[in-house]
Structure 1
Amino acid sequence: MTDKTLVRRTPWPASDSWPVCTPLQPSVVYASESPDALDDMYEGRAEGYAYAREAHPNADVLAAKLDGMEGVQGGIVLGSGMAAVTAALLGVLKAGDHLLGGNQLYGRSLRMMSTELPRMGIATSLADPTDVAAMEAAVRPETRMILIEVVSNPTLRVADLEGIAALCKRRGLVLAVDNTFTTPRAVRPLEHGADIVIHSVTKLLAGHSDATLGYVGARDADLNDAMLGVAQTLGLTASPFDCWLAERGLYSFELRYDRAEENARALADHLHGLPGMTRVIYPGRPDHPDHNRVQGLLGSRTGNMVTFEIEGSRDAANRLVRAARNIAFAPTLGDIGTTLSHPATSSHRGLTPEGRAALGLSEGSFRVSVGVEPADLLCTEFEAAVRAAARD
């Protein structure tokens, strides 16, 4: 006689051992033993899950690890870096408020400020985050928040984090810091006076270009609750599988970061001496425009991002990319392998040539997210590409 069981009622096998790897839990819904038990969970008298849009185990496991890295309690893992930005902004701002942003934010953050927030009645403006006086001059009576990146994309300017934090404290403003480029390996913004820290986990933290996730955490529990409420209502949900992948990536994060940073220093120095190179920007070089601030804020943790500019127009840019055949030309950063991007056709394509020029970007500008390959191979590859670009 065949045993009969109801669908999904087969119990999980008992075991006196446990998995070394974090289990993947893709369930969208969770069953409770009674209405009272569900009430207890929703009202905080018991721990548990009900619906994955609100919370699920893999997101909580990853969030706890990121909390520890940033010195936060109660941070949230979300479906993308922009989901994290959205939760931070809409968790704090309302119609009639003003948001002041750094003038070289990530392109989609700039679009949100220029297009989406004004539709909601939230005013926005930009100022130079390397100049505290300029930021303070841009503060309005209705300003509620300042949003900056520690290191800007792609010009790699370093914000006056501590000066802006002091400004926010004086004026009663919330300071949100996107720490994607630098990561907590280089700086922990909350230790320098920030209120909210944001990450695109997709990038260096996960590190393998196979998981799309974001993270946001605040010092204040009420801010975390407000951001969580926005995330749950808007459905900014993180995929359990992506959380599982990102957690796995974190185990090698420090090894990857340190190797990529070492490579970036070597590549920046090598590029600097090549013919046809008009400038190389790397926070670890003494000719960086914010060198003194780099030393005070980041110390030796100068990251894996290098920006350079070659002579010539789009034709030269095309020749360089085609010659760098072993480097992925892709609008991303933080992969374990080196990637190359062209701001004029990716992150800053929405700007006019004049707008890009105002930021110091031309058709010859490139951003490199340096990976873990042998440094000598990277230098050889880029030298050949730069020389190819210089040929008529």
Structure 2
Amino acid sequence: MDIRKTLIRPVAMPASSSSAVVTPIMPAVVYASDSPDALDAQYEGRSPGYTYAREGHPNADILARRIDALEEMEGGIVTGSGMAAVAVVLMGLLRAGDHVLGADQLYGRSLRMMKEDLPRMGIATSLADPTDAAAMEAALRPETKLVLIELVSNPTLRIADLDGIAALCKARGILLAVDNTFTTPAAIAPVTRGADIVIHSVTKLLAGHADVTLGWVAARDPEVAQRLRVFAVTTGMTASPFDCWLAERGLMTFPLRFDRAQQTAQRLSEFLSGRAGVARVLYPGRADHPDAARAQSVLRGNPGTMLSFELEGGRAAANAFTEAAKGIAFAPTLGDVGTTLSHPASSSHRALTAEGRAALGISEGFFRVSLGLEDPDALLACFADGLDAARQARG
């Protein structure tokens, strides 16, 4: 036998009268076409198919379609990370001479891109308070082409005036991009309230197991969506098939995980409120939240799985809390099946000055909590241990 003949491609898939119940992993990087005419038809959109994985592959498209359905959109694309999705929007749609207005409490890396990377490309940027549509309007310029907000800010959980900002953008012909990572489509589909572009870090609640890094972005206007896709393909922001497969698997339990974690978040907010050494608790489901009325209206009774609180005693109390709260991962992420604790001053917002963090309400004792699926009573006991240690550290 000439063993070289056994290595020649292609080999036909085995015939089967049944089909897989779950999506298979399809890791192929390249795809063969029948002829140059057939390849032309694919590139020109007259025939479906794949050519090269950087330009798209089945696992990414399957995941994108599932998230599209949740967000009531079409034509979304999956990227290699949430920040890649943000970059696709900011760099794929803007050019030198344009201006973009961002919310002043975006994710730390989004802020860095706004403040440092875009200006290097000749794109002007500024920030304003998204809870105040008048403040956002005052920051607009004639050359403003895009507004970027997070519906629920990271990490102080303020609620943007989505309706006011959407009306403002529509009147001015400005694109509105909403990062819906914190809120998720379980709470709201921003496109139904006037958003033109929706962004997700799929890494977080949608995938939900802290084992993939992915993003997703979709645009209401097909022409805008095509510009996003072309930029993503050109710059190689491709997601791996395996990560897409894992994320699709995680997405199947997303509603159950969201509901359970949201219930625990409500309990934790009640547990922390009024405790000695806790300066404040921020949770959109609480009546004392600064945007409580808006949260009820915009989030449709789903205040979410994220909670923030501030300890008295600064960094010393923060260190003592994290060291004593055994069983709670101290990690700069969110949306995992396990509860995670984040300290913005030392992680997501460490690039800001102390004065800059203070202006946002972020102190050395400030924590953000992403609730997971643990037994709520056991979780509260961990928090109690942390609070006791923080109290001792304060003396």
- TM-score, normalised on structure 1? 0.99
Cα distance between partner residues in 1 of 2:199 and 2:329: 26
Counterpart CA distance in 2 for 1:120 and 1:165 is: 27
User: Residue 233 of structure 1 aligns with which residue?
Assistant: 234
Equivalents in 2 of 1:232, 1:213: separation in Å?
15
What does residue 326 of structure 2 align with?
325
Displacement of 1:175 after TM fit? 0.2
Q: Is the 8 A contact 1:151 1:181 kept in 2?
A: yes
* Ranges of 4+ aligned residues in structure 1 off by more than 3 Å: 1-4
Partner of 2:289: 288
Structure-2 residue corresponding to 1:41: 42
* Residue aligned with 2:358, SS: helix
Is structure 2 residue 204 aligned with structure 1 residue 203? Answer: yes
Aligned to 1:220: 221
Matched, 1:81 2:116: no
Aligned residue identity for 2:109? R
What is the alpha-carbon distance in structure 1 between the residues aligned to residue 310 and residue 214 of structure 2?
Answer: 31
Aligned to 1:337: 338
**Amino acid across the alignment from 1:327:** I
Query: 2:140 maps to what in 1?
Result: 139
| Counterpart-to-counterpart distance in 1, 2:323 and 2:7 | 59
How far residue 329 of structure 1 moved from its aligned partner, in angstroms, is: 0.3
Q: Secondary structure at the match of 2:203?
A: coil
Using the TM superposition, give the Cα deviation of residue 90 of structure 1 relative to its aligned residue in structure 2, in angstroms.
2.1
Aligned to 2:109: 108
Which amino acid counterpart does residue 23 of structure 2 have in structure 1?
T
Asked whether the equivalents of residues 91 and 223 of structure 1 are also in contact (C-alpha less than 8 Å), the reply is: no
Instruction: Using the TM superposition, name which of 130-139 and 5-14 deviates more.
Output: 5-14
Residue in 2 that maps onto 1:158: 159
Q: How does 1:362-377 map to 2 (within 5 A)?
A: 362-377=363-378
Give, in whole Å, the separation in 2 of the partners of 1:9 and 1:240.
21
The one-letter amino acid paired with 1:201 is V
Shift of 1:305: 0.5
Contact 1:275 1:387 in 2 (8 A): no
Contact conserved, 1:90 with 1:227, CA < 8 A, in 2?
Answer: no
How does 1:1-392 map onto structure 2 within 5 Å? 4-391=5-392, 392=395
- d(CA) in 1 for partners of 2:269, 2:361: 18
SS of equivalent to 1:301: coil
Shift of 1:105: 0.2
- In structure 2, how many angstroms separate the alpha carbons of the residues matched to 1:150 and 1:9? 49
Mean CA deviation greater in 159-168 or 308-317: 308-317
Contact 1:280-1:307 at 8 Å conserved across structures: yes
Q: Distance in 1 between matches of 2:187 and 2:384?
A: 28
Once residues 98 and 187 of structure 1 are traced to their aligned partners in structure 2, the CA distance between those partners, rounded to angstroms, is: 28
Distance 2:196 2:218 in 1: 9
Shift in Å, 1:2? 6.7
Counterpart residue type for residue 96 of structure 1: G
- 1:283–1:291 contact (8 Å) kept in structure 2: yes
CA contact (8 A) 2:82 2:200 kept: yes
Contact 1:276 1:387 in 2 (8 A): no
**Is contact 1:211-1:242 (8 Å) kept?**
yes
Cα deviations by residue, 1:129-164 (Å, 9 ceiling, x for unpaired): 000000000000111110000000000000000100
Contact kept, 8 Å, 1:103 with 1:127, in 2: the verdict is: yes
Instruction: Give the Cα–Cα distance (whole angstroms) in 2 for the partners of residues 136 and 127 of structure 1.
Output: 9
Deviations 1:159-179 (A, max 9, x none): 000100000011110000000
2:188 touches 2:300 (CA, 8 Å); kept in 1? no
Give per-residue Cα distances to partners, 1:342-370, cap 9 Å, x unaligned.
01100110011111111111110000000
Distance in 1 separating the partners of 2:216 and 2:258:
18
Q: Secondary structure at the match of 1:183?
A: coil
Query: Which amino acid is 2:333 matched to?
Result: T
Deviation at 1:98, TM superposition (A): 0.1
Query: What displacement does 1:9 show?
Result: 2.6
Question: Which consecutive unaligned segments of at least 5 residues does structure 1 have?
Answer: none
- 1:167-199 CA-to-partner distances (Å, cap 9, x unmatched) read 001111000000000000001100000100000
Q: Give the counterpart letter for 1:218 in structure 2.
A: A
Distance in 2 separating the partners of 1:86 and 1:250: 24
Residue by residue, what CA displacement relative to the aligned partner does 1:177-227 show, whole Å, maximum 9, x if unpaired? 000000000011000001000000000000000010000001110111000
- Alpha-carbon offset, residue 25 of structure 1: 0.4
Partner AA of 1:169 in structure 2: K
- DSSP-derived class of the 1:358 partner: helix
The 3-state SS of whatever aligns with 2:100 is strand
**Percent of pairs identical after alignment?**
65
Gaps of 5+ in 2: none
SS at match of 2:357: helix
- CA RMSD, Structure 1 to Structure 2 (Å): 1.0
Equivalent residue letter for 1:177: V
In structure 2, give the amino acid aligned to 1:35. Answer: P
